[in-house]
């Protein structure tokens, strides 16, 4: 019996532009791999996941260029790199591409171990990962998606008008999340332990995107506000505070370090 060439057929059906490869992707360009002179981060300015990676790169002092990717346009060349068509995607100087903010941050901590962001002891590492999952998962689904996605991304992605009920739920859910953040900030030097970590960067990334929209009432929790002021004043944060999206002006306090 002739063996079925599953790879080839699946490749043809599902992945017209991309090589079937479950490992990290390289960007194909004609024959061989394209060498990039610079490291590129495909992102959207208000994407919390992209912001987290921007902060991680900057904390590690890894130089990179930013490239805005309007994921809703589903650009063919970008689909060859990331068939899920999400940002962030990091393209290394040698063309090596890493997809998904968590995979990128884990990769960065392994590839560039100076300034570790995932902690040192086993306990610290587990706690930092728990908190990153908390903000990228629970916080995003209970708060961020209800505000940022409903107010910003939904229409761009052709998924209809903002849902007022979801927006109300987002504001209501933000309160207990700020309280939890404040409790963490009061009980530890940094959210994940004794040193700044990816837990702080994830939390700050999500909150900074909402803060751009003017959606965070910092008066609700002083400890959360003081922690955010500390993260916000780091040099790694400066480029995020300089972001401006056409047609969407942030509140005055967005870039103010003494807000």
Ligand X SMILES: N[C@@H](CCC(=O)N[C@@H](CS)C(=O)NCC(=O)O)C(=O)O
The answer to whether the beta carbons of residues 142 and 173 sit under 8 Å apart is yes
CB of 208 to ligand X, least distance (A): 13
Total residues binding ligand X (CB under 6 A) = 12
State how far the Cα of 43 lies from the Cα of 51, in Å rounded to an integer: 8
Nearer to ligand X, 87 or 108 (CB): 87
Matching residue, tokens 């900030």: 185
Are 245 and 46 in contact by the 8 Å Cβ rule? The answer is yes
Please list every residue from 15 through 54 that binds ligand X, using CB under 6 A: 44, 47, 49
Stretch 92-121: interaction string toward ligand X, x if CB under 6 A: --------xxx-------------------
> Considering the complex, what minimum distance in angstroms separates the CB of residue 209 from ligand X?
8
Q: How many CB atoms lie within 10 A of CB 154?
A: 17
- Tell which positions 73-92 bind ligand X, by CB under 6 A: 85-88
**Strands across the sheet containing 65-68:** 25-26, 96-99, 89-91, 40-43, 65-68
Minimum separation from the CB atom of position 46 to ligand X (A): 8
Asked if residue 50 lies in contact with residue 99, where contact means CB atoms within 8 angstroms, the answer is: no
Least distance from ligand X to the Cβ atom of residue 259, Å: 24
Is 203 a binding residue for ligand X by CB under 6 A? The answer is no
Give the binding site for ligand X (CB under 6 A): 44, 47, 49, 71, 85-88, 100-102, 136
């Amino acid at each position: 019996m002739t063996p079925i060439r599953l790879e080839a057929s699946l490749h043809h059906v599902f992945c017209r532009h991309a090589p079937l490869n479950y490992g990290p992707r390289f960007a194909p360009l004609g024959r061989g791999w394209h060498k990039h002179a610079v490291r590129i981060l495909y992102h959207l300015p208000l994407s919390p996941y992209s912001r987290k990676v921007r902060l991680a790169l900057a904390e590690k002092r890894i130089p990179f260029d930013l490239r805005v990717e309007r994921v809703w346009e589903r650009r063919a060349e970008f689909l060859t790199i990331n068939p899920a068509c999400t940002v962030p995607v990091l393209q290394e100087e040698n063309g090596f591409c890493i997809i998904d903010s968590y995979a990128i941050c884990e990769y960065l901590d392994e590839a560039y171990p100076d300034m570790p962001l995932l902690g040192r002891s086993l306990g610290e590492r587990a706690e930092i990962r728990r908190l990153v999952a908390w903000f990228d998962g629970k916080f995003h689904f209970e708060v961020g998606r209800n505000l940022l996605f409903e107010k910003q991304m939904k229409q761009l992605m052709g998924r209809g008008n903002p849902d007022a009920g979801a927006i109300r739920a987002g504001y209501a859910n933000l309160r207990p999340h700020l309280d939890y953040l404040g409790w963490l900030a009061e009980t530890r030097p940094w959210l994940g332990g004794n040193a700044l970590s990816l837990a702080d960067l994830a939390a700050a990334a999500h909150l900074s995107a909402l803060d751009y929209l003017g959606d965070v009432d910092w008066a609700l929790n002083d400890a959360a506000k003081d922690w955010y002021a500390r993260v916000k004043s780091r040099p790694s944060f400066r480029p995020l505070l300089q972001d401006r999206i056409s047609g969407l002006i942030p509140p005055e306090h967005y870039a103010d370090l003494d807000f």
